[in-house]
Amino acid sequence: MTLPLDGLRVLDLSRVLAGPLVGQMLGDLGAEVIKIEKPGDGDDSRSYGPPFLNTADGRRTRESGFYLSANRNKRSVTVDLSKPEGQDIIRRIAQKSDVVIENFRVGTLAKFGLDYASLAAQNPRLVYLSVTGYGQTGQMADRPGYDAIFQAAGGHMAVSGAPDHLPGGGPTRSGLSIVDILTSHYGTIAILAALNHRDRTPDGRGQYIDLALLDSMVATLSHRGVQYLISGKNSPRRGNVGGGGSPSQAFHCADGQIVLTVGNDLQWQRFCDAVGEPALAQDPRFTKATSRIENRELLTPTLEAKFASNTKAHWLEVLGRADIPSGPVNELSEVFKDPQVRERGMVVPVVHPVSPSLPLIANPIRFSDTPLTRYDPPPMLGEHTAAVLREVLGCTDGEIEALRKIKAI
């Protein structure tokens, strides 16, 4: 069965997370993704452990969980970009590719003649994505940065975490590398749009995509950002309290926490009946969504006492019968045991060269006609160097050996 991007070739020069996640998504969708890595060390994320994948007999490998999360459905080729022969390999692969992904600092690849202008001169159809911290323009364009920097600078930390007056309050970093992950989604969308544009234009020309982590974070502020822009007021941190309804937050039960959202007045009526507090539904301070939000601090203590009186399972059953959106606050160990997660097939076991079973998180997209069934294991460092040089560039065994001798690969 064909996949949506069958026949597309992607040259992935990126490292760590945002860029590799773009390549992985395109690979999931069927593209051939050739991952270029530094000989000896490879992608920086290979060292981001523990944990590392173990062999069947318990020996630790160099395959970190971080690296494994972002590099399936790719072939690894080791190339030394500092050597002219290595640069030539990249140019030759780029001539036969549709997409290039890179996340080097601004100007780095131009020194090697591997920037968009140089490669597009040889292959005008090329779509070229550059992912950087601050973008290709602006006074900070040449500065480095990682995910946490942009969570802070882009406003995510300011709207995350508990209010200052509560214990542990203050701006809080996400537990996920959320900027990298969101940027990878923007990057994938941008590439698919550029490919569509290329294939609809008379000259079939590709284009350059300038994508910044900071821009992506600012764009993802969404309604919290627009609320500031129209009010001029900084958005308050609410911790685990939502802003789109009330009650809409986490509550402690006798054995853990649940989260629920009462999103409208009809749900409020059902909620009050379900939890055995019908009088709250008639209280004029709480009858309307706006009044419940305004009087949240008056309402919350009553509900906290109510939920603390019984278990998570009890309250989720009660709320489920009343059709109130709710769910448990799960540890990761609980997430992957959740019946719904399991039934949706969100964990996919694959055979890895050093392990008979590597569990990966599945792609969540469900196509009706082209299901995403391809889950090739993340490659070992340089695993496909010789094969790609033979198949894509037509190199002979002698030429490959000569490249190895000069350490270009």
- Long-range pairs, 315-319, Cβ under 8 A, ≥24: 315/251, 315/253, 315/258, 315/275, 316/258, 318/274, 318/275, 319/258, 319/260, 319/271, 319/274, 319/275
Q: Which of 164, 180, 199, 283 is catalytic?
A: 180
Q: Is 199 a catalytic residue?
A: no
DSSP H stretches of helix in 134-288: 147-153, 178-198, 213-219, 222-231, 265-274, 278-282
Encoded amino acid at 243, one letter: G
Give yes or no for a contact between 238 and 293, defined as CB atoms under 8 angstroms apart. Answer: no
Residue 89: in which H helix or E strand, if any? helix 84-95
- DSSP, collapsed to helix, strand or coil, labels residue 63 as strand
Tell me which residue of 276, 295, 277, 275 sits closest to 285, measured CA to CA. 295
Give yes or no for a contact between 128 and 156, defined as CB atoms under 8 angstroms apart. Answer: no
Q: Using CA atoms, how far apart are residues 72 and 33, in angstroms rounded to an integer?
A: 9
Q: Which string of DSSP letters, residue by residue, matches 339-378?
A: HHHHHTT-EEEEEETTEEEEEEEPP----SSS-----PPP
Neighbours of 401 (CB within 10 A): 12
Residue 65: in which H helix or E strand, if any? helix 65-68
Tell me which residue of 107, 158, 110, 106 sits closest to 133, measured CA to CA. 106
- DSSP, collapsed to helix, strand or coil, labels residue 24 as helix
Give yes or no for a contact between 30 and 365, defined as CB atoms under 8 angstroms apart. Answer: no
Neighbours of 29 (CB within 10 A): 21
Please confirm whether the linkage preceding 51 is cis (ω < 30° from 0): yes
DSSP 219: H
Bridge-based pairing of strands 60-64 and 75-78 is unpaired
Active site residues: 180
